[in-house]
Structure 1
Amino acid sequence: MSLGDLFRISEFKNTIQKSKVEIVQLEETIDKLKKQNNIKLSLQQMKPEQLDQLINSKHKTLDELDKQIDFADKKRINALSEIEKQSDMLNEIKADISDLSPDLEMSSYGLYQPQYDFSDSLGYKDRLQEIRDQQKKSNQK
């Protein structure tokens, strides 16, 4: 045995390995083709009534799937509209908060925006007493 034979042995081993892989792939292809052929033969061997029943069952399945798709689509549309409503409400709340934040900032420093046109609390107290007296007089009548 020479050195050249050793190199040829490794070549033969590689060729054998490649052939084994190719054989496995061809066997898988043969199995797939046999399955397809069996399906075609079974369909050809069926009677027309059986084929009609098979077609009808497939149509029913298709109709049920269409109904499920329609239902899911309606749910999706409802969810999107609800999300839109909620985001609008969120935007309104954010706008309200941004309107109130300057007042909150001022009140944190002890300043506030007066709601009545009184210069001090004594004027407010006097006016409140007048209103109460008027209400008492109107109740006594």
Structure 2
Amino acid sequence: MNDNSKKKQNKGGRTPKTDPSIHRHVFRLTDEENAKLLSLFEASGMPNKARFIISVLFSKEMKSVKIDKGTVDFYMRLTSFHSQFRSIGVNYNQIVKLLYRHFSEKKASAFLYKLEKHTAEMAALCKKIIQISEEFETNYLKK
């Protein structure tokens, strides 16, 4: 009876793995090879260097994601600019309504003429922005 109580007693500690990694291999690299290995490891995004090496050795699928900070910054600025451009369009509609509501037909037409000039300038600017965006996309994004 004393033997049974000892077998049931929990000794604590980590539960043993079913298939532990017990075989160890050592290899040496030059400075250049080491730098290349580390850059590939960082580009892979894997948290463990040993698992990265194993996946490369046994040709498992390795994903590498490169994030270009310049492209992300360009995209964020273009998005904020687009939202500002949309808000200008909303304000444009509100101004036209207010002009006809608070001014005479003649005065409203004079103000609308000035507004029309600025709108034409803004349309030309918009065309330039679209052209620059397309150039950026063809030169830097589609590789």
Task: Give the TM interval when normalised to the shorter protein.
Answer: 0.3 to 0.5
Larger Rg: 1
Q: If each structure's helix is expressed as a fraction of its own residues, which one has the higher value?
A: 1
| TM-score normalized with structure 1 length | 0.37
Q: Of the two structures, which has the highest relative contact order with CA contacts closer than 8 Å and spacing of 6 or more?
A: 2
